[in-house]
Structure formats: structure tokens, C-alpha cells
């Protein structure tokens, strides 16, 4: 590690804090919206919009420190795609990222519960099961991984915050599962008895589906964005040929 990279503890702290804030917004905005509106559409509009905005902002702010993953599958994808070069985290750092993200998500969920005077950590009983929900989680996660890795491969990593926030905001509406698309936040949402919760028994299905989706996204990556070989032509960052073929 050179002096230009933040130390691993600092990166882990950034991932933990960022994921905590993300989970706090997801859970907190759900509670607040349920208290303010009787209309399910208005509630979800608030929940999805606030979550997407927070996600985009947090990725942009913590990106220079830790990458701004907040998601074990994004970290794993960064490890996998960078495993032959110096760009990605190592396998051990990736596991440490996942642990920090998971701890952050649980802490952020507890913070939201606390702010809204609910039990700090109470296990949810809201089952979320069914093949159609698993398909939805796979699609939402696979596209997420594809977008992030594809943008980086094209040299357009600066667009990642907007793309991640925009995609998750859209996917919330486009899927019946709510597009958790994140094993750490899925784990965190076990610990709230509000509408954002998920029962422990539903977690394995969600996480496996997210993992399957991430693998599919990684499989599509070279098909759509080419290989990251040394001979790969660099795509300039300034997007000037965006609309050209």
C-alpha cells in the first residue's frame, strides 16, 4: 500500500458509517412516511426517493475514502474484477468490508428505530418469500453490479453515484421486492419491526438471490463492456462520444 491510499481501518470505518447512514435513511424514511400518509404510493415514493438520494450522496462522499460500496456484493465484484491488477481490494480486505458493512447496517437500523422511539433492535416478523421476489432481487442486484463495474471499466467511475442512486430508485418501483439488492442492508432490516423489516427466515432466500444476480451481472460484464485487458482501448472520461455509435 502506498501513501496515497487511506489505511484499511479508515476505509472500514467509512464503509461502516456510510452503510449505517444508508440503513438509517431506508428504515427511518419508511417509518416517517407511514406516519404521515394513508396512501401506499405516497409512502413508497417518499421511501424510495429519500433512499436513492442518500445512497447517491453517500457513494459520492465516501467514494474517495473507501470506494463507497456499502454492499458486500459490490465489494466482492470489485475484488473479482480487480483480482489480477492493483485496482481492487484483496480477498481479506473484501471480507473485512463485508463485516464492516453488516455491522454498520445493523447499527443504522437501530439508530432509526431509536430516533422514532421504537424498540432499538427488535426482530422483524415480516416474511418476504417467493420465487418472484427472488427473481426481482436477482435482477436488481445484477444490474447494480453491472452498472458499477461497467462504468469503472469504461473509465467513467465518476458517474457511479448518480447511476447507483438512479438505478436503485427506479428498481424500487420496478420490482415487487423493494429492491433490497444488498446483503448487509438486508441483514440490518431484520432488526426493525417497522414496515421496512424482513423476517430472519426470509433472509437466506433474499441473499442467495442477490448473490445469483451479482454473478449474472459479472458474467454479463465482459459481454457488454469488454475485457479489462491491457490492450483494451481506453474510453475517455469526458463522455464526449456518448451519443455516437
Q: How far apart are CA 120 and CA 10, in angstroms?
A: 27
In order, the DSSP letters of 164-213 are: HHHHHHHHHHHSSS-----HHHHHHGGG--STT---GGGHHHHHHHHHHH
Nearer to a copy of itself, 49 or 126 (CB): 49
Which of 19, 70, 76, 78 is close enough to bind a copy of itself by CB under 8 A?
A: 78
- Degrees, nearest 5: CA angle 111-113-119: 120
Q: Which of residues 4-33 bind a copy of itself (CB under 8 A)?
A: 4-6, 10-11, 13-14, 17, 21, 24-25, 28-29, 32-33
233 interacts with a copy of itself by CB under 8 A: yes
Among residues 147, 185, 203, 215, the one that binds a copy of itself under rule CB under 8 A: 147
Cβ contacts of 123 within 8 Å, gap of 6 or more: 190, 191, 193, 199, 200
Binding mask 201-230 for a copy of itself (x = CB under 8 A): -------------------x--xxxx----
Please tell me the count of residues contacting a copy of itself according to CB under 8 A: 108
- Return d(Cα 184, Cα 181) in angstroms, integer: 9
Min dist CB 121 to a copy of itself, Å, is 16
CA–CA distance, 135 with 58 (Å, rounded to integer): 27
**Minimum CB distance to a copy of itself smaller for 201 or for 237:** 237
Site for a copy of itself in 184-203 (CB under 8 A): none
Applying CB under 8 A, does 1 fall inside the site for a copy of itself? no
Of 148, 124, 147, 141, nearest in space to 208 by CA: 141
Establish if 73 lies at the interface with a copy of itself (CB under 8 A): no
Write down the least CB distance from residue 57 to a copy of itself, Å. 4
Amino acid at each position: 500500500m502506498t501513501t496515497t491510499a487511506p489505511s484499511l481501518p479508515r476505509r472500514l470505518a467509512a464503509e461502516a458509517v456510510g452503510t449505517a447512514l444508508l440503513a438509517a435513511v431506508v428504515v427511518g424514511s419508511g417509518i416517517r412516511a407511514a406516519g404521515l400518509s394513508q396512501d401506499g404510493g405516497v409512502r413508497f415514493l417518499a421511501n424510495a426517493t429519500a433512499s436513492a438520494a442518500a445512497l447517491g450522496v453517500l457513494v459520492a462522499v465516501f467514494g474517495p475514502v473507501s470506494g463507497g460500496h456499502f454492499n458486500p456484493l459490490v465489494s466482492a465484484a470489485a475484488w473479482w474484477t480487480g483480482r489480477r491488477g492493483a485496482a481492487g481490494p484483496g480477498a481479506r480486505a473484501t471480507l473485512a468490508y463485508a463485516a464492516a458493512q453488516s455491522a454498520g447496517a445493523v447499527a443504522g437500523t437501530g439508530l432509526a428505530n431509536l430516533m422514532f422511539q421504537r424498540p432499538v433492535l427488535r426482530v422483524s416478523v415480516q416474511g418476504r418469500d417467493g420465487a418472484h421476489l427472488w427473481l426481482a432481487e436477482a435482477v436488481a442486484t445484477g444490474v447494480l453490479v453491472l452498472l458499477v463495474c461497467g462504468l469503472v471499466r469504461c473509465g467513467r467511475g465518476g458517474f457511479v453515484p448518480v447511476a447507483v442512486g438512479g438505478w436503485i430508485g427506479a428498481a424500487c418501483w420496478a420490482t415487487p421486492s423493494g429492491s433490497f439488492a444488498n446483503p448487509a442492508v438486508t441483514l440490518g432490516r431484520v432488526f426493525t419491526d417497522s414496515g421496512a423489516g424482513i423476517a430472519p427466515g426470509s433472509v437466506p432466500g433474499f441473499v442467495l438471490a442477490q448473490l445469483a444476480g451479482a454473478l449474472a451481472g459479472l458474467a454479463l460484464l465482459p459481454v457488454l463492456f469488454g475485457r479489462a485487458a491491457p490492450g483494451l482501448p481506453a474510453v475517455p472520461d469526458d463522455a464526449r462520444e456518448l451519443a455516437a455509435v
